[in-house]
Amino acid sequence: MSPVVPKCLALILCDAVRRDRPGGDPSIVRAFDAFDVPAFPANTGRFSIWIQLIDGNGETAMKLFIEHVPPDRVEAELVAPVEFSVNFANPNVVVDHVAVLQDGIELEKVGRYRLRLEADGATILQRYFVARHAS
C-alpha cells in the first residue's frame, strides 16, 4: 500500500509568522518572492517559510529543498535541505508548519530559485523565487 500524500495549500517565504495566542490564527510578517542583495555570493539572513497542509494521514516525513534553477540546465542545484515531520491526526484538519532558517541561506548566483516540498519522498508543491542585485 502506498502512503497517503498530503496536499500543500501554502508555501510562503516571509520574515516571520506570529500568533497572538497559542493555537491562534497565524499572521505572516512581510511575505516576499525575491531576495535583493548588494553582491553575490550573499547570505540572506534569517527568514521563515510558512507551510500549510491538509489530507495527510499520521506521522509524515517532510523535506523542503531550496534549490537554484540554472537557466541552461534541467537539473536544479541544491542550496539547502530542511527536514521535519508533521503529524496528521485528522486528514480534514489543516496543519501548518513554520521552517525558520535562523542563519539564512547562501545565494551563490543571481537568478531563479525554488522551494520544493516533498512528503514521504513525493514532490507535492514547488514555489519559485528570485535572487537579484539590489538597486
Domain boundaries, the chain: 7-133
122-133 vs 111-119, strand pairing mode? antiparallel
CA distance 54 to 101: 23
Q: Per residue in 87-125, pLDDT tens?
A: 999 999 999 999 999 999 999 999 999 999 999 899 999
Terminal-residue alpha carbon distance, the chain: 53
Instruction: Dig out the grid coordinates for 74 from the structure.
Output: 534541467
What pLDDT, in 10s, does the model give residues 49-60?
A: 999 999 999 999
Strand-strand pairing, 47-54 and 106-107? unpaired
Rounded to whole angstroms, how far apart are CA atoms 19 and 26? 5
The listed CATH number (2.40.50.140, 2.40.160.20, 3.30.9.10, 2.60.40.1930) that belongs to domain 7-133: 2.60.40.1930
